[in-house]
Every structure is written in C-alpha cells, then in structure tokens.
Amino acid sequence: MNTETYIARISDIRAKLIAIIEDCEYPQIEAMLRNADMELHWALWNLGAAVALRPEAEYQAGGAEAGPRRRRRPDRAVDRQAGGEGRRR
C-alpha cells in the first residue's frame, strides 16, 4: 500500500470517528474517542499529510474536513431544591 492510500484510509476513518464523537452522550467515552482521533491525526502528520499542528485547530476551522465542535451538554443533575425528584436544572 502506498502513502496516498494510507492517508486516504486514515482520513476516512477519522471522518467516521468525528461523526461518532459529535453524537457521543458520555463524556468519558468522548474523551477516549478524542484520544483516538489525536493518534490518527499524528499518523497523518507523520505520513506527510497537510494537517494542523493540533487536531483541535481543525475542529474550530469548520468546513467538510473539520472535526467535532464542542457543544453544551444538558445538566443531568437533579436539582432537588428547585422542584423535587427527577427534575433537571
């Protein structure tokens, strides 16, 4: 397999991983997936692909090749003082 094929395959895997990260509801799992994305990013870097110095820079850049965007998560804690059981703040 040549370098261009490696770059294409790793980029495809990374794009799929980013889609999973964006839909992830579990912070611990999201952190692990981001670590996996960082490893793939550095693999591309070492193969000579044009990537940003840090994966986060690509996330903020936007566009088709951009990575996950940070979004606010709903607070899952129960606020017992504000109205009782099972109610989210």
* Distance from C-alpha of 9 to C-alpha of 79, rounded to nearest angstrom: 46
Question: Residue 16's pLDDT is what?
Answer: 92
For residues 58 and 82, the model is more confident at 58
Contacts of 25 (CB under 8 A, 6+ apart): none
Please tell me whether the overall predicted TM-score, pTM, comes out greater than 0.75 for this model: no
Maximal C-alpha separation, the chain = 62
Give the pLDDT of residue 22.
83
At 49-79, the pLDDT tens digits run 988 787 766 664 443 344 444 444 455 454 4
State residue 7's pLDDT score. Answer: 96
Helix intervals (H) in the chain: 3-23, 27-46, 55-61
pLDDT over 90 for what percent of the chain? 44
pLDDT of residue 52: 78
Q: Break the chain into its structural domains and give their ranges.
A: 3-61
